[in-house]
Amino acid sequence: MRFLRRALATLLAFTLAAPVTAAPALWKFGDADTTIYLFGTIHALPPGYRWQDARIRKAMAAADTLVIETLIDKDPQAIARLFPPPDPSLPPIVERVPEKSRPAFAAMLARAKLDPAVLSRMPTWQASFMLMGAMMKDLGVARDAGVEGSIVPRFTPAPEAKDAVPKKIEALETASEQLSLFANLPEADQREMLASFADGEGSARKDYAKLLRAWSSGDQTEIARAFAEDEDLTPHLREVLLKKRNANWAHWLKTRLATPGTVFVAVGAGHLAGPVSVQRILAADGIAIQRVWPPRKRRSPSPAGPAPAKVAR
């Protein structure tokens, strides 16, 4: 499943270098007393990847609230409660991938030092998450290596900064809600996600490199095309993972305009590109969105998002 593989294969890009001038896309909208910035993220980045420019730093500095997709409780017991108990009735984990993929899958488990017997007691989606975590550890990629991991500390005052005004950090979804998106997928979709680890080893790096280039240059058209051309992103998955969530988030953002302040909202870049993007939904509700362009890079408005009323600086 190329869509989920791209989401998970960010782990494999740790050798990629940052461009000389990165300029990820940034938008803003608001009213007389509220400003909301929209920023699309990559959930895992190569170490040291430089992506923050003056626009983004200025927007974060102005914001009194950060909103991300979800907040993960760092308490191990709290995390454990999010996952179901072992299920001995499930078939062995290797049998949940197509027969042609089993040799590569078994070899991957061995390299990751994961016990197939332990994974076999888990729901298929959870086994996929375990494999992802093991791959990250093996590659030396930290779970907080993405954009969100860099942004959150900027909204958390250092202990020695006694006079610093604390900023709020909120989430659009709970961790339980996010995990339920995968737990409630049909078993066939869960197994395709699992098999993608083995089937996509050869193309994962290439897929991610292409997506990373599009994101770092603010190319929303290319990001939208990557999702539109993904044949494995079935109508059901598009409805569950993109369309419904984007509609929920757009409603939240529209409601948030009633609260004065400046908000920096950071969500996966795929949610801000294409015909069902959050911006398109907001625009359909009559909310004008402006794209905040880099000072020296004027570009034509991307068809992947609503045309701005004027260029914001």
Q: What's the pLDDT at 179?
A: 84
Q: Which of 54, 50, 63 is nearest to 18 (CA)?
A: 50
Work out the pLDDT band at 237, boundaries 50, 70, 90: confident
Residue 252 phi/psi, 5-degree rounding, is -60, -45
What average pLDDT does the structure give for the chain?
Answer: 79
Ranked by mean pLDDT, which of 38-52, 55-69, 76-90 comes out on top? 55-69
Q: Which domain holds residue 92?
A: 26-291
Joined together, the tokens standing for residue 15 give 């050798």
Lowest-confidence segment of 38-52, 103-117, 195-209, 220-234 by average pLDDT: 195-209
> Is residue 296, in this structure, part of any structural domain at all?
no
List alpha helices for 25-163, DSSP H: 54-62, 76-80, 102-112, 116-120, 124-139, 147-151
Which is more confident, 284 or 165?
A: 284
Q: State yes or no: pLDDT of 172 exceeds 70.
A: yes
Work out the pLDDT band at 136, boundaries 50, 70, 90: low
Which is more confident, 292 or 89?
A: 292
> Is residue 123, in this structure, part of any structural domain at all?
yes
> Is residue 68, in this structure, part of any structural domain at all?
yes
Q: What's the pLDDT at 162?
A: 62
Q: State yes or no: pLDDT of 25 exceeds 90.
A: yes
> Is residue 222, in this structure, part of any structural domain at all?
yes
Joined together, the tokens standing for residue 293 give 């362009």
Q: State yes or no: pLDDT of 255 exceeds 90.
A: yes
Contact 237, 189 (CB under 8 A): yes
> Is residue 246, in this structure, part of any structural domain at all?
yes
Work out the pLDDT band at 295, boundaries 50, 70, 90: confident
> Is residue 3, in this structure, part of any structural domain at all?
no
Q: What's the pLDDT at 222?
A: 92
> Is residue 232, in this structure, part of any structural domain at all?
yes
Side-chain-side CA neighbours of 251 within 13 Å: the count stands at: 7
> Is residue 282, in this structure, part of any structural domain at all?
yes
Work out the pLDDT band at 203, boundaries 50, 70, 90: low
**Following CA atoms 34, 43, 147, 22 in sequence, which dihedral angle do they give, to the nearest 10 degrees?**
-100
Residue 313: which residues within 8 A CB-CB, separation 6 or more?
Answer: 292, 293, 295
Work out the pLDDT band at 175, boundaries 50, 70, 90: confident
The number of distinct structural domains making up the chain is 1
- H or E element, residue 202: helix 201-216
Q: What's the pLDDT at 123?
A: 92
